[in-house]
A = this chain, B = another copy of it.
Amino acid sequence: MVTSKDVAALAGVSQSTVSYVMSGSRSISPATRARVEAAMEQLGYHPNASARALAGQRAHVLGLVVHVTARTELAGVLPFVETVTGAAREREYDVVLVTGDEGDAGLERLARRGIVDAFLVMDVTRRDPRLGTLARLGRPTVLIGRPDEPLGLHWVDLDGRRAGELAVQELVAVGHREVIVLGEPVGEPGEEHRFIADFEDGARQAAERAGVPVALVRPPERGWAGVLAVRDRLVEGARRGGLVARTPQVAERVLQLLLEAGLDPARDTALVAMCEDDVARRLRLPVTNVSTESRPLARRAVDALFARLQGRTDLPDEQLVTPVLTRRTTTPGHPDRP
């Protein structure tokens, strides 16, 4: 193994000079820097991460907490995770994955052993049981999802109210005088996530402001069975007005039911889905969508985390990201696209 000592010897400098060349934390003459860099190159030097972490009191690793439940949209988390690791790498950080199994003890272990310097927690609910532990651990932490009581932790979330509003406003704009919002399945604590509650609120209020009746339809269960159980109401509603689906899965199923009922979502009715843009484009029809902005959200979260890691406190403790609506074929007759 090549160490910084070897590099120092070859370059004819001290070990600390090698260290300073790497960290840039003190000025080095161009000549010395060149010799050191040449030596590194020649020896194929790679600094040892454990030694650096031990001496520097920083692991250069952040913990990404992903708790997968039955309700998790599996396909949505990977782009998020990828964005996080990419953004972390730009700052010379690696990412360790924390899955739910270990619970709070796992978080404690990672923090106390110095395996991670900071936490990024995905899919935080309104009264998330992990928050107490995270606050107590005192490591820089950013939550994805808005809790009722942040306990001093920073959070980032999509603006649910605005998302619901955008969806309904689009339906109203294309001339619909009635709106059906497909909500969370009954019996499940849909209000667990602040975003969902806000979405339904925003949709309802936008409809009220427009003087248009809204129905919030909750399927009796999750999955196909739930959607099928409310099929008649949906198809009926679609004949008279427009539909809002809060997830791509539901959008896909609704689309299918509409087609089977002989309704063309691009002509006879309207549909707005909440999902990633690329998913919206790849559904059976390109569906008008309110974006979930998962990559921008991930970036903001990482930015906030590194700001804290660098001891900055001049930033807001909470950030709401504004979703964007993109018109596609399922909001026909829009004035901008006659």
Contact = CB atoms under 8 A, between A and B. Distances in A.
Interface of A: 44, 46-51, 53-54, 59, 61, 64, 66, 68, 72, 74-79, 81-82, 85-86, 89, 94-99, 101-102, 106, 108-110, 112-115, 223-224, 228, 252, 256, 259-260, 282-284
Contacts of A54: 48, 50-51, 54
Given A96-B97, A97-B97, 17 more contacts: A46-B112, A47-B113, A49-B115, A50-B54, A50-B59, A68-B78, A74-B74, A74-B75, A74-B76, A75-B75, A78-B78, A82-B99, A85-B97, A86-B99, A94-B115, A95-B97, A96-B96
Contacts of A94: 96-97, 110, 115
13 contacts: A46-B109, A49-B59, A50-B50, A61-B96, A66-B78, A72-B78, A78-B78, A85-B97, A94-B110, A94-B115, A95-B97, A223-B282, A256-B256
B114 A50 contact: yes
B78 A48 contact: no
Given A78-B77, A82-B99, A224-B284, A113 B260 contact: no
Nearest to A108: B46
Contacts of A101: 86, 89
A78 B96 CA distance: 14
B114 A48 contact: yes
Copies of this polypeptide in the complex: 2
A99 B113 contact: no
Contacts of A256: 256
A278 to B, nearest CB: 10
Nearest to A102: B89
Nearest to A58: B50
A46 to B, nearest CB: 4
Contacts of A61: 96
Contact of A53 (B50, B89, B102, B252): B50
Nearest to A2: B112
B282 A224 contact: yes
A212 to B, nearest CB: 31
Nearest to A279: B74
Nearest to A284: B224
6 shortest A-B CB distances, which residue pairs? A46-B112, A50-B53, A74-B75, A50-B54, A49-B113, A75-B75
A158 to B, nearest CB: 19
A82 B68 contact: yes
Interface centre among A85, A228, A283 (most CB of B within 10 A): A85
A73 to B, nearest CB: 8
A74 B85 contact: no
A68 B108 CA distance: 30
A49 B46 CA distance: 20
Given A51-B54, A54-B50, A96 B95 contact: yes
A259 B224 CA distance: 14
A224 B114 CA distance: 48
A66 to B, nearest CB: 8
